Amino acid sequence: MADTNVALIGLGTVGSGVARLLMENADRLARHAGRRLVLRQVVVQDLKKPRDVRLPAGLVSTDLSRITADKDTQVVALLMGGVEPARTIALKVLESGKDIVTANKALLAAHGEELFARARELGRSIAFEAAVAGGIPIIANLSQCLSANQIQSIHAILNGTSNYILTQMEAHGASYADAVADAQRLGYAEADPTMDVDGSDAAQKLAILAHLAFGAHADWEKISRAGIDTLDLADMRYAKELGYRIKLLAVAQLTAAGLELHVSPTLVKLGTPLAEVRGAYNAVSVVGDSVGRVFFSGLGAGQMPTASAVVADLIDMAVGRAAITFRTLEMWSATAPRVPISDFQNVAGRYYLRFHVADQPSVLAEIAGLLGKQDISIASVIQHEDEAAGVVPLVIMTHNTTEGAVSRALAAIERVAFKRGPSVRMRVYN
Amino acid sequence: MADTNVALIGLGTVGSGVARLLMENADRLARHAGRRLVLRQVVVQDLKKPRDVRLPAGLVSTDLSRITADKDTQVVALLMGGVEPARTIALKVLESGKDIVTANKALLAAHGEELFARARELGRSIAFEAAVAGGIPIIANLSQCLSANQIQSIHAILNGTSNYILTQMEAHGASYADAVADAQRLGYAEADPTMDVDGSDAAQKLAILAHLAFGAHADWEKISRAGIDTLDLADMRYAKELGYRIKLLAVAQLTAAGLELHVSPTLVKLGTPLAEVRGAYNAVSVVGDSVGRVFFSGLGAGQMPTASAVVADLIDMAVGRAAITFRTLEMWSATAPRVPISDFQNVAGRYYLRFHVADQPSVLAEIAGLLGKQDISIASVIQHEDEAAGVVPLVIMTHNTTEGAVSRALAAIERVAFKRGPSVRMRVYN
């Protein structure tokens, strides 16, 4: 069978990993693909930058036209980050008649609709397994393996950096700042980890999963999100006392009112699969109406897990499966049926609330009263003595209520005289 | 796009579920497949048997030739169990020019090579996602999504009946016999659960997974296996005391000496994903050289989870992906590279051993001596007082050794005078 010629754009961590797989495991990949995948061209922005992989002389250049003009290259792995110039380059690659495999979730979250429409016009395909959850093949599982199902919910840990930080805080009692510094030292967090720890990265990935599973067109910037950057070790201890562990959970849940989408630190019951996901691992728990609950976990980032996903897509492109999937699913198509996104204020759930209050009589009664005004009833309470004299932390687990009711109750509690510090609220997933 | 016409052979639990999905969710499936899947024919052995689904008059018959002679039927879901007449029917269906989707693992374990060779000769395809691990799409994940990897190991819970029984025994302190009776009452176990509880069912599935992941041609009857039917509640208590839970684990592990394949009750460390798999769930933990560890869990059997897998295969057949995968992978091909199967006696690991011994001096020293003669060193010991006067259970966790060494040591220990009952041995998975 004829070879499939592949080009890479970007030779950072993931690009180097893909190049290594293509060169060092050529025979094995040929066996799995029924043909050879030949690395023909690599285009980078800076030839002088040190690289993680040794490539034959003449393979690497800074000239995109060497790829777009090469009639014998069929597939391009677009492995640079960021939105521009990745978007412009992707359009040029499609227009030159080549298919694209990409790991760039920011690009898809921002311009998926445009890129997929252009690919369809040109009869080209785009595959993006590596864009979400690294080594977990969640894109293929949602778009193919579970295709007999109406997906009902997705609960996922999609940011490995945050999960690593949470695991370190919990296991070693490290502060948030120390855990971040540790993650940076080990390469799990970037110098500026904002997008990872504030929930933005998880929201971008959730937007992509929600589109695949529900046909929802969600602007990721409008997905309600909270990060782990405001978490306190005290909350981890209280969570444990209540039988939970805190995870940055990305949720897509189909209800009669539409699709709920949100990302936030959430109390997850100990002993359940999501609670046991440690370190830099990601996980996705999917409920389908036929299959029931299916759970996936694996490394969410890193050179070789992501390269594994990119190369699986390259093989799918080479054998023709990716083109079929792309044509069949009409992803990001303007004509696809749309699912309305629920108003976040109406999203239901149980909540963990923590207040710092003056150690004086009737405080609990007053807070319970303010919660009660919003029809929020209390499931359990923890009150321990605190180190700061005269101030006690008060932890409340609620019964089922809504985001809106909790927000209104907390606004009222903000105004009481006995309050001594900021309140904490987290969703609870049972 | 043209419809795809589908026929079913067998209308038991799974067949009824598939028929329901095809009829009740036709629009949704059409959206996921880009064309309609139309149920044209159902063939059963007994028209009078009560069924779980209502079908239009005229759809059901006992006449296989109504399917094989129908030029407009493209795919047949072969959903009857057992080896014959399923094998003969499968050959007739292939010879009539139709592709096959099946959930019949016994058929594939016994005659995969013959059926796949015949399909290749005839230009037809066979898909079998539902044959292993029910709703977990492990076939697609091993054959497509992880195809960039050399798979290094598979550790899996592949029999939901056994896992349900183990979970009941552990959670409620139920005896093996009571847990089996309970599983039978709830429909998780058949009237004769032998194949489920003795490890045979898991060995059949392991043979299929090992073929996909390693190209190993393993006769499932030659896979070393032990079942849960000899387990004692006491062992569950000791396992827990040592920080483990007992699971019926199917293992395929690549080593320098070849591929290790075995099924046995195994101590799995508490808090790890496999240990937390409860009830009728299955799970598969796969390590690939690029992706690292990827973990999957889901319902291992049952009407709708299995039907979900069958219908995903029907969609893959309809859109053409399944034919590509079948042609590319050359499954059960005589020309595929083969992996040698290791001698089970050389398989390494740690072991849990339990002895019933007379409560007298020097017993531990003597047992330790007999283990030491086989170079087996002891990692930890539990000895509690027992209810039976004069007899104590002695539990030993070993350091790393081999199956052969443990067998030789146990044979020697069988002959000592202070032994008071049968010994127990289980592998340990860390």
DSSP for A236-257 reads: HHHHHHTTEEEEEEEEEEEETT
Residues of chain A contacting residue B293, judged by C-beta atoms under 8 Å apart: 298-299
> Is A291 close to B31, i.e. CB distance below 8 A?
no
Single out the residue of B294, B327, B278 nearest to residue B120, CA to CA. Answer: B327
pLDDT at A1 over 80: no
**Residue carrying structure tokens 């592709």:** B99
Residues of chain B contacting residue A297, judged by C-beta atoms under 8 Å apart: 273, 294-295
pLDDT at A307 over 70: yes
> Is B137 close to A150, i.e. CB distance below 8 A?
no
> Is A319 close to B324, i.e. CB distance below 8 A?
yes
> Is B304 close to A295, i.e. CB distance below 8 A?
no
pLDDT value for B311: 97
Count other Cβ atoms within 10 Å, centred on residue B202: 31
Lowest mean pLDDT: which of A16-30, A374-388, A404-418?
A374-388
Structural contact between residues A229 and A198, judged by C-beta atoms closer than 8 angstroms: yes
All structural domains of chain A with their residue ranges: 4-134+305-329, 138-299, 347-429
Count other Cβ atoms within 10 Å, centred on residue B192: 9
d(CA A277, CA A283): 7
Question: Do the domains A4-134+305-329 and A138-299 sit in the same CATH topology, yes or no?
Answer: no
Residues of chain A contacting residue B31, judged by C-beta atoms under 8 Å apart: 337
Structural contact between residues A258 and A207, judged by C-beta atoms closer than 8 angstroms: no
Q: Tokens at residue B31, please? A: 């959206």
Lowest mean pLDDT: which of A211-215, A314-318, B335-339?
B335-339
d(CA A413, CA A370): 7
State the nearest Cα–Cα gap between B32 and chain A, in angstroms. Answer: 6
Residue type, B14: V
CATH number of B150-298: 3.30.360.10
pLDDT tens-digit profile of B236-254? 999 999 999 999 999 999 9
Q: Who among B34, B292, B321 is closest to A305 (CB)?
A: B292
Mean pLDDT over each residue of chain A, to the nearest integer: 93
Q: Which of B49, B71, B105, B205 is catalytic?
A: B205
Burial of B386 by CB count in 10 Å (0-12 exposed, 13-18 middle, 19+ buried)? Answer: middle
- Please, what CATH class does the domain formed by B344-429 belong to? alpha beta
CATH number of B4-134+305-329: 3.40.50.720
Residues of chain B contacting residue A326, judged by C-beta atoms under 8 Å apart: none
- Helix (H), strand (E), coil (C) string for A292-344: EEEEEEEECCCHHHHHHHHHHHHHHHHHCHHHHHHHHHCCCCCCCCCCCECCH
d(CA A347, CA A185): 38
pLDDT level of residue A42 (50, 70, 90 thresholds) = very high
> Is B305 close to A292, i.e. CB distance below 8 A?
yes
Q: Who among B271, B295, B337 is closest to A298 (CB)?
A: B295
Mean pLDDT over each residue of chain B, to the nearest integer: 93
pLDDT value for B331: 77
d(CA B173, CA B178): 10
The ipTM, to two decimals, is 0.94
- Helix (H), strand (E), coil (C) string for chain B: CCCEEEEEECCCHHHHHHHHHHHHCHHHHHHHHCCCEEEEEEECCCCCCCCCCCCCCCCEECCCHHHHCCCCCCEEEECCCCCCCHHHHHHHHHHCCCEEEECCHHHHHHHHHHHHHHHHHHCCCEECHHHCCCCCCHHHHHHHHCCCCCEEEEEEECCHHHHHHHHHHHHHCCCHHHHHHHHHHCCCCCCCCHHHHCCHHHHHHHHHHHHHHHCCCCCHHHCEECCCCCCCHHHHHHHHHCCEEEEEEEEEEEECCEEEEEEEEEEEECCCHHHHCCCCEEEEEEEECCCEEEEEEEECCCHHHHHHHHHHHHHHHHHCHHHHHHHHHCCCCCCCCCCCECCHHHCEEEEEEEEEEECCCCHHHHHHHHHHCCCCCEEEEEECCCCCCCEEEEEEEECCEEHHHHHHHHHHHHCCCCECCCCEEEEEEC
> Is A34 close to B327, i.e. CB distance below 8 A?
yes
3-class DSSP assignment, residue A391: strand
pLDDT value for A388: 66
Letter string b/e over residues A342-361, b meaning 16 or more CB atoms within 10 A of that residue's CB = bebeebbbbbbbbbbbebee
pLDDT value for A386: 64
Range A347-429 classified under CATH 3.30.70.1380: no
pLDDT at A351 over 70: yes
Q: Tokens at residue A296, please? A: 């996936």
> Is B324 close to A329, i.e. CB distance below 8 A?
no
Count other Cβ atoms within 10 Å, centred on residue B65: 11
Residues of chain B contacting residue A273, judged by C-beta atoms under 8 Å apart: 273, 276, 297
d(CA B299, CA B309): 11
Residues of chain B contacting residue A302, judged by C-beta atoms under 8 Å apart: 292
Nearest residue of B to residue A296 by CA position?
A: B296
Nearest residue of A to residue B303 by CA position?
A: A290
Distance of CA A339 to the CA centre of its chain: 20
Distance of CA B252 to the CA centre of its chain: 12
Nearest residue of A to residue B147 by CA position?
A: A312
Q: Which superfamily, per CATH, for A138-299? A: Dihydrodipicolinate Reductase; domain 2 (3.30.360.10)
**Is the preceding peptide bond at A85 cis, omega within 30 degrees of 0?**
yes
d(CA A135, CA A18): 13
pLDDT value for B387: 61
Q: What's phi and psi for B57, nearest 5 deg?
A: -55, 140
Establish whether B373 is a catalytic residue.
no
Q: Which of A98, A105, A205, A247 is catalytic?
A: A205
pLDDT value for A301: 84
Q: Model-level pTM? A: 0.95
Task: Write out residues in chain B with pLDDT < 50, as ranges.
Answer: none
**Is the preceding peptide bond at B85 cis, omega within 30 degrees of 0?**
yes
> Is A291 close to B149, i.e. CB distance below 8 A?
no
